[in-house]
Chains A and B, each alone.
Chain A
């Protein structure tokens, strides 16, 4: 079965650079979520989109922005990167923002290293 696809899988950037992470949800899924997992930490919610509109917002820095496109894929844009942004970034998708079977399926993650 198709899963959530994230690209790139690994990314190395210098401080103050910009990074763009991409997420392709499971086909027919209309909701996308972004999470950040620092070393040894549990995943922290950043932002989510349902039908291309922002549906929920967590502890996402102002330097980060995200959007969901007409084909439901999503991009997380990160500017002025800091050392503390080094983490595993997960994208998850689900069918129906508040449906009865809205299991969130996670992608493999993008490991971002900021030097």
Chain B
């Protein structure tokens, strides 16, 4: 069974600092990995999707890397802003699955 872990559970930084969010997974036989953002009590917004054959994906200030062999992904958010405050979830889809297995998330607070 795929286990997804996100460290740290919470992070607080001053505005302008770069954010580094970590995700690890136990089964390297993945199909893809998605990063989501969730605001309190709200839905999940897809940020980036990395296919198993890719090493990284970029979208604006966001960059996600994937090291499938070591079971790790990192989400970088450059020049953080207070509007980036949210919970960020990593989710992995297995090679033979349709479902996503989620981590518990990292709750980010960017202080103005």
Chain A residues near B51 (CB, 8 Å)? 100
Contact call A56/B98, Cβ cutoff below 8 A:
yes
A92 neighbours in B (Cβ, 8 Å): 44
Interface extent on A, as a size class? 20 to 34
Among candidates B36, B43, B104, residue contacting A109 with C-beta atoms closer than 8 Å = B43
Q: How far is the CA of A41 from the CA of B38 in the complex (A)?
A: 12
CA distance in complex: A26, B32 (Å): 20
Binding site for B on A (CB under 8 A): 31, 33, 35, 41-45, 48, 50, 55-56, 58, 88, 90, 92, 97-98, 100-109, 111
Number of A-B residue pairs at CB separation under 8 A:
56
| Contact residues in A for B98 (Cβ distance below 8 Å) | 31, 33, 48, 50, 55-56, 97-98
Classify the interface of chain B: helix, strand, loop or mixed: strand
CB-CB nearest in chain B for A39: B41
Nearest Cβ on chain A to B73's Cβ, whole angstroms: 15
Q: A42-B89, A48-B98, A58-B99 are in contact. Are A104 and B46 (CB under 8 A)?
A: yes
**Would you mind naming 5 contact pairs between A and B with Cβ atoms under 8 Å apart?**
A31-B98, A42-B104, A45-B100, A56-B98, A105-B46
Q: List residues 34-56 of chain B with CB under 8 A from any CB of chain A.
A: 34, 36, 41-46, 49, 51
Known contacts A43-B102, A48-B98, A58-B99; decide if A104 and B43 are in contact (CB<8 Å).
no
Using CB atoms, name the residue of chain A closest to B4.
A42
Shortest Cβ distance from residue B64 to the other chain A in the assembled complex, whole angstroms: 13
Pair B34/A103 contact, Cβ less than 8 Å = yes
B102 contact set on A, CB distance < 8 A: 42-44
Q: How far is the CB of B100 from chain A (nearest CB, A)?
A: 6
Q: Let me know if A42 and B99 touch, CB within 8 A.
A: no
Q: Does chain A have a CB within 8 A of B103?
A: yes
In the complex the two chains form, is B34's CB within 8 Å of A104's CB?
Answer: yes
CB pair B42–A102 under 8 Å, yes or no, is no
Docked-complex contact A45 and B101, CB < 8 angstroms:
yes
Report how far A55 CA is from B42 CA in the complex, Å: 27
Identity of the chain A residue whose Cβ is nearest the Cβ of B31 in the assembled complex:
A98
B residues 17-69 near A (Cβ < 8 Å) are 31-32, 34, 36, 41-46, 49, 51
